[in-house]
Amino acid sequence: MSTDTRRQVMLITGGGRGIGAATAELAAARGYDLVLAYRADAAAAESVAEAARSVGARVEVVQADVSEEASVLALFARLDEVFGRLDVLVNNAGVLDRSQPFVEYTAERMKRIFETNVFGAFLVAREAVRRMSTAAGGRGGSIVNVSSAAARMGAPNEYVDYAASKGAMDSMTLGLSKELAPLGIRVNAVRPGLIHTDIHASGGRPDRVEALSAQVPMARGGTATEVAEAIVWLASGAASYTTGALLDVSGGR
């Protein structure tokens, strides 16, 4: 049994808003220290950090663009400097583009989606594994990928490229869960459905949750906190025998 009584450290990418912010606040309340990575909105990330600090968490806020390897390496260098350990990665950073038919997609649009949602997720996970792996002297750990119900639904006429990027994240989750289990690392994913966050506005449909909620068996959109509860559970020792899970948090849709 481990005698290490220090607070566990959780890295959350895209930690300044939506599901990332809700996860940060819940994890802080459950006893984690945090590294919050954000791409552009420093004020939002600092606001989340202050809320986490108010319940006793130590929090480091780091600007990072996960689509750029140099930025990812700098993020982890800062994590090493401040905490010297990593126990949980929440691979949450993600983008989408305007809701539109597939034939209107540009190469630039698709490149941006995959560079952040796929390549970025892989780069961040790689650096986390290098620190967690028991084969490399780490203590093991947990990776929770934030995928989407779009991965199994396809998002036709809206965001097929986004859905495909999340399908890639599901495949990564399944493959890494098998590869990394002998190294002490669990890998799972949550797949949120219609959730009240501002990502819908970035796709040009701020009212999307309300417009589609009739398609949800539970007849409502979910909250970021409801997704965060699933993430924090998967990250925790309460899920110690769970790896390779793709957990839908979608109200039955």
Identified catalytic residue from 32, 38, 159, 162: 162
Structure pTM?
A: 0.94
Q: Say how far apart CA 36 and CA 93 lie, in whole Å.
A: 11
- State the architecture of 9-249 in CATH terms: 3-Layer(aba) Sandwich (3.40)
Average pLDDT over residues 12-21: 97
Average pLDDT over residues 29-46: 97
Under a CB-based contact definition with an 8 Å cutoff, are residues 56 and 28 in contact? yes
Q: Take residue 169 and report the two structure tokens written for it.
A: 């994240």
Q: Is the pLDDT of residue 5 over 80?
A: no
| 32 catalytic per annotation | no
Domain boundaries, the chain: 9-249
HSE, CB side, 13 Å, CA atoms: give it for residue 169: 39
Average pLDDT over residues 49-54: 98
> Could you tell me the pLDDT band of residue 203, with boundaries at 50, 70 and 90?
low
Q: Say how far apart CA 124 and CA 93 lie, in whole Å.
A: 10
Closest C-alpha among 1, 175, 187 to residue 91: 187
CA 20 from centre of chain: 7
Residue with tokens 């126990």: 87
